[in-house]
Amino acid sequence: MYRPVRMFSFASFLFMFANPVVAQESAARLHTHIRSANSRLCAVIALGVKVSPTLRTIVERIESSDVITYIDMRLLTTPGVAAQSQFVNAAGGRRYVRVLIDSRFNGTVLLGLLGHELQHVAEIAGEPSIVDHQSVAAFYRRTGLRSPVGGANRFESAAAIAAGRRVMNDASEHASDVNAAVGRAKQGGHE
Ligand SMILES: [Zn+2]
């Protein structure tokens, strides 16, 4: 068992969507270092790197690092927490981070949440001293903010807040494309 140190994210002022997550069976690879078995996430990220220079830069930072991140969606029940990132461990010359997004989000808001959380992953990628939960907490106590939601050992960063907003703004200019990509992903198979 590990006790994950969590960092998050947008609060509950965002719109909520009723899109319950279903079986996650298909294994799709997005990039070498950013992975998900969720078809909606794969579709949104694939489009997101095209429409958002901010997201593209964040993804490139992760791709050129030793960090592997797994992204998934599920219903998150902690009040005010729409997404979160957890440092998992360091092993075999790689560091692993898990990102969870609340499955009620969709479209451009979902892309904004991804931009926010992947910025946290990029922050970890750029900080080689982070190798366990203690060093994540130490890093964010030194450079970040205490998260206003979710309790102790939850952190936030100004850069992640800014990145989320920028990615959502970028995506808003292509909202119909983003929503179409999500719609195709839903019709096409597993979430
Ligand atoms: Zn955050």
Domain that holds residue 18: 6-188
Please tell me the distance between residue 4's alpha carbon and the centre of ligand 1 in angstroms: 15
Which helix (H) or strand (E) is 127 found in, with range?
none
Please tell me the distance between residue 82's alpha carbon and the centre of ligand 1 in angstroms: 10
- Write out the DSSP string of 54-108: HHHHHHHHHHTSSEEEEEEEE---STT-SEEEEEEEEETTEEEEEEEEETT--HH
Q: Is residue 145 domain-resident? A: yes
Q: Is residue 47 domain-resident? A: yes
Structure tokens at 190: 């597993």
Kindly state the DSSP code that residue 189 receives in the 8-state scheme. S
Please tell me the distance between residue 59's alpha carbon and the centre of ligand 1 in angstroms: 16
Please tell me the distance between residue 165's alpha carbon and the centre of ligand 1 in angstroms: 12
Please tell me the distance between residue 109's alpha carbon and the centre of ligand 1 in angstroms: 14
Tens of pLDDT, residue by residue over 6-62, are 554 444 333 333 333 333 333 445 579 999 999 889 989 999 999 999 999 999 999
Give the total number of structural domains in the chain: 1
Tens of pLDDT, residue by residue over 103-150, are 999 999 999 999 999 999 999 999 999 999 999 999 999 998 877 776
pLDDT, residue 122, reads 98
SS3 29: strand
Q: Is residue 1 domain-resident? A: no
CA dihedral sign of residues 138, 143, 148, 149: negative
Q: Is residue 19 domain-resident? A: yes
Q: Is residue 139 domain-resident? A: yes
Q: Is residue 146 domain-resident? A: yes
Q: Is residue 16 domain-resident? A: yes
Please tell me the distance between residue 156's alpha carbon and the centre of ligand 1 in angstroms: 4
pLDDT, residue 178, reads 85
pLDDT, residue 180, reads 85
